Amino acid sequence: MKAVGERLKDKRVLVTGGSRGIGRAIVEALAQEGSKVAFTYASRPESAEEVLNSLPGQGHMCLQMDISQPESVEQVFAQVLESFGGLDGLVNNAGVTKDQLLLRMKDEDFDWVVNTNLKGTFLCSKAAIKPMMKARSGSIVNITSVIAHSGNPGQVNYAASKAGIEGMTRSMALELASRSLRLNCVAPGFIATDMTDSLTEEQKNKIAERIPLSRLGTGQDVAQAVVYLLSEESSYLTGQVLHVNGGLYM
């Protein structure tokens, strides 16, 4: 077993949505474990550059991408493959929300969330498996959510997209196992990010009361699960969902 700091040494990994929140924590953890990391962002290039410049190691890159658009995905993967010469891992992290109760949810809001989260994961996975199949090696980790299992009022579109990703992951795992490709999911629960900073301490405490481990998760909690699934330590795992939720959903 490789020492901490070397578990992903020389692995080439692309992370979508890596400039903030859970995505940033994943990017940082991968670089700390020796990966050469490319990550994408949708907007705010200054934030992406700040993350890029903070990473240990050399050869990292960040690129703007719209994961719902095939042309954008194709261009980014072409750039990464040209620079890296191949791809050992993909983390499909980028996603959006547009919450509303079912009777008030607009068709376009349902379509936007599903096209971004579900179709975006499909497009990126399809682009990644081509070089991975050629190398007969690779690991894809899809970030889903506890909401895919528990459901949540006002998130019909989000729950559908994340549950769809998990079903798609299992199907792809079955298709690609013969080529030694592994596909798994990490399903976070309530994670403290910049999005939860707007909550009051009272609101955070009420959330924590629902969690058996009595705290919100951190981006690092999720990132370490991703590191495990990208590493050789998980070489016999495929088609699985690793829940990182402090026991919230069992």
Residues annotated as part of the active site = 158
Q: What is the DSSP string of 10-56?
A: T-EEEESS-SSHHHHHHHHHHHHTT-EEEEEESS-HHHHHHHHHH-S
Angle of helix 120-135 relative to helix 156-176, nearest 10 degrees? Answer: 20
DSSP 197: T
Collapsing DSSP states into helix, strand and coil, what is residue 69? Answer: coil
Nearby residues of 60 by Cβ (< 8 Å), 6 or more positions away: 31, 36, 37, 38, 39, 52
Quote the tokens at residue 181.
């490709």
**Which parts of 155-200 fold into alpha helices (H)?**
156-176
Q: How far apart are CA 25 and CA 15, in angstroms?
A: 11
Return d(Cα 106, Cα 170) in angstroms, integer.
Answer: 30
